[in-house]
A and B are shown apart, each in its own frame.
Chain A
């Protein structure tokens, strides 16, 4: 079953990051890494900068960090600015360079470390040297999927956590989704402000209609995208979870939105509008829009029981991993190229059997980054193409060809403090 899933994407194009350059990013002052396709393994003690490398790749893919909502935290402490750039290649040899420059928390001291002049705001985005005004111009160029132990929150956390997951995943398939989300949030803020004004008698309820129209238009598209994605995700995640648990468990994901199950776009708009109209008096009372994609939820269950409340920690962990791996595969199916897979410290939580199963599965991806605090046997015996030892401010890279017999060692001149 797993093999057949990969067959859907294997013959298509591939995508890899061939070079990653960091400047004042997290603990790195300056580092340039050349990255081969295949399995890249990063081993080093805690706080040696493993996660930051994976985080940097995700920042290039999505313009955002999975670890923080505050971009300035990505910049090396006390620095005015930081930058991450990467060269991505397709199988056909086409290359694209993405760069993200970020404003840091440091104050500029005379002359020394002033930010580049193009950094006028908090963040500057570039594709092939061209400034991009909107994230939608960058997201989707080079998709990546990041999973860390914190990914457990995907099943355990609040619904907003799962909505955020959907937003990032779908945006990497359809960048237009970001524009829909932006317009939806804007319309929601305006509509809520107006609802409060109506409640205070400062505005006429009739002026609500144009904002409802804006909300409904973007909202119907968002819910359609989400329902389609969750449907595809559920099938793949169930297969992966089944394999991880030896077929003992049946994972199910269901999109729960106010317009779930309606396929026609105009009908979706009509249903959402109808639901909003029904809530009208309650909405004025509460001063907030009560239905719509901002209240969506994805129900995750195992063997028919809601996983969030009734799952064991172990069940939640394997389900979260299965869902993230499924995300990567669905993105791959929809785009015709698999995303770069970033697995941060995930093996330590799996028993040896599942760890080696996972490593086998990873062979189906074009490029995978795995971090671990310990060089486990499963890792050493895996079919890696590059092995990085991170210690005392240096990154040692060892490479070997596909056959696994020739290898060369290279020391990156860099500093991680």
Chain B
């Protein structure tokens, strides 16, 4: 059987590891790159290399950054008495886009999962507790995903924070209905959960 040249085989193999890319897409991408000019392909290569060389984790919140601190931790206008805890940096970006939040973040780097062998020590949990102790916080907002893993991670954090001296208030982001959606079109699972998590109306 005819085989691709080794460099081509290697590239296809690497591309296949990317999310959403199967063997066929990987081949198409590899042949596309092969057909482009040296400059163009070089640009892509340099961009990929620069990604890991220049981007690191914020020493405070573990968001992605090119410096020591991320732009949010460097911003003097943020309220540092509130920390919002998220699983991934992409979750942080989603919350930032809402424009609603003035506090700072803490990226855990994932959620607990004994099945996938992700233990508390694999996440930035000790660092979070250290920050809470140092900063005399008002509130910690748990914004992990509403999955079993995300909920369990949130519950684990709540228990740890409660054991600290002078613990801050711990809150969980609400689960509920999509805005602008009619009640009768919301799926029943979402409706059931938002009923369970209903809040008291203050007036």
Chain A contacts of B148 at CB under 8 A?
Answer: 183, 186-187, 190, 214
B155-181 vs A, CB cutoff 8 Å, 1 = contact: the mask equals 110010000000000000000000000
Total interface residues in chain B, CB < 8 Å: 21
A137-B187, A179-B189, A207-B120 known; A190+B114 contact, CB < 8 A: yes
Closest Cβ neighbor of A202 among chain B residues: B119
- Contact assessment for A136 and B119 in the assembled complex, using a CB-CB cutoff below 8 Å: no
Query: For this complex, into which size category does the number of interface residues on chain A fall?
Result: 20 to 34
- Contact assessment for A210 and B113 in the assembled complex, using a CB-CB cutoff below 8 Å: no
Known: A136-B188, A187-B148, A193-B115. 13 other contacts (CB 8 A): A136-B189, A175-B189, A176-B192, A179-B193, A186-B148, A190-B113, A190-B115, A197-B114, A207-B112, A209-B156, A210-B112, A210-B156, A214-B155
Chain A contacts of B156 at CB under 8 A?
Answer: 207, 209-210
- The 24 listed contacts between A and B (C-beta, < 8 Å) are A134-B189, A136-B187, A137-B187, A175-B188, A176-B189, A176-B192, A178-B189, A179-B192, A186-B148, A186-B149, A189-B115, A190-B114, A190-B149, A193-B114, A194-B114, A203-B114, A203-B119, A207-B119, A207-B120, A210-B155, A210-B159, A211-B114, A214-B148, A214-B152
Q: B153 in the interface, Cβ–Cβ < 8 Å?
A: yes
A186-202 vs B, CB cutoff 8 Å, 1 = contact: the mask equals 11011101100100000
Q: How far is the CB of B12 from chain A (nearest CB, A)?
A: 20
Chain A contacts of B159 at CB under 8 A?
Answer: 209-210
Q: How far is the CB of A289 from chain B (nearest CB, A)?
A: 12
Closest Cβ neighbor of B22 among chain A residues: A120
Complex CA gap A207/B112 in Å reads 10
- Hey, which bits of chain A sit against chain B, CB under 8 A? 134, 136-137, 140, 174-176, 178-179, 183, 186-187, 189-191, 193-194, 197, 203, 207, 209-211, 213-214
Chain A contacts of B119 at CB under 8 A?
Answer: 203, 207
Q: Which of B115, B151, B188 has the most CB of A within 10 A?
A: B188
Closest Cβ neighbor of A193 among chain B residues: B114
Closest Cβ neighbor of B115 among chain A residues: A193
A207-B120, A210-B159 known; A187+B192 contact, CB < 8 A: no
Q: How far is the CB of A253 from chain B (nearest CB, A)?
A: 26
- The 7 A-B pairs of least Cβ separation, nearest first, read A193-B114, A210-B155, A194-B114, A176-B192, A210-B152, A186-B148, A210-B156
Chain A contacts of B152 at CB under 8 A?
Answer: 187, 190, 210-211, 213-214
Complex CA gap A183/B196 in Å reads 15
- Contact assessment for A213 and B115 in the assembled complex, using a CB-CB cutoff below 8 Å: no
Complex CA gap A27/B134 in Å reads 69
Secondary structure class of chain A's binding surface, majority of residues: helix
Chain B contacts of A210 at CB under 8 A?
Answer: 112, 151-156, 159
Q: How far is the CB of B43 from chain A (nearest CB, A)?
A: 31
Closest Cβ neighbor of B156 among chain A residues: A210
Complex CA gap A178/B189 in Å reads 9
Q: How far is the CB of B19 from chain A (nearest CB, A)?
A: 13
Complex CA gap A186/B145 in Å reads 14
Interface residues of B in 184-203 (CB under 8 A from A): 187-189, 192-193
Chain B contacts of A134 at CB under 8 A?
Answer: 187, 189
Q: How far is the CB of A118 from chain B (nearest CB, A)?
A: 15
Q: How far is the CB of B93 from chain A (nearest CB, A)?
A: 22
Q: Which of A136, A176, A183 has the most CB of B within 10 A?
A: A176
- Contact assessment for A140 and B155 in the assembled complex, using a CB-CB cutoff below 8 Å: no
Q: How far is the CB of B154 from chain A (nearest CB, A)?
A: 8
Complex CA gap A134/B192 in Å reads 15
Complex CA gap A140/B191 in Å reads 15
Interface residues of B in 65-124 (CB under 8 A from A): 112-115, 119-120
Closest Cβ neighbor of B113 among chain A residues: A190
Chain B contacts of A187 at CB under 8 A?
Answer: 148, 152
Closest Cβ neighbor of A206 among chain B residues: B159
Complex CA gap A189/B149 in Å reads 11
Closest Cβ neighbor of A218 among chain B residues: B148
Q: How far is the CB of A229 from chain B (nearest CB, A)?
A: 16
Chain A contacts of B155 at CB under 8 A?
Answer: 209-210, 213-214
Partner of A140 from B113, B115, B120, B188 at Cβ < 8 Å:
B188
Complex CA gap A134/B115 in Å reads 22
Closest Cβ neighbor of A197 among chain B residues: B114
- Contact assessment for B151 and A214 in the assembled complex, using a CB-CB cutoff below 8 Å: yes
Complex CA gap A190/B112 in Å reads 9
Complex CA gap A190/B148 in Å reads 9
Complex CA gap A175/B191 in Å reads 11
Complex CA gap A200/B152 in Å reads 22
Complex CA gap A191/B148 in Å reads 11
Q: Which of B114, B153, B156 has the most CB of A within 10 A?
A: B114
Chain B contacts of A214 at CB under 8 A?
Answer: 148, 151-152, 155
Closest Cβ neighbor of B120 among chain A residues: A207
Complex CA gap A190/B147 in Å reads 12
Complex CA gap A159/B124 in Å reads 43
Chain B contacts of A140 at CB under 8 A?
Answer: 188
Closest Cβ neighbor of B151 among chain A residues: A214
Complex CA gap A190/B118 in Å reads 11
Chain B contacts of A207 at CB under 8 A?
Answer: 112, 119-120, 156
Complex CA gap A183/B189 in Å reads 12
Chain B contacts of A190 at CB under 8 A?
Answer: 113-115, 148-149, 152
Complex CA gap A137/B152 in Å reads 25
Chain B contacts of A193 at CB under 8 A?
Answer: 114-115
Q: How far is the CB of B85 from chain A (nearest CB, A)?
A: 14
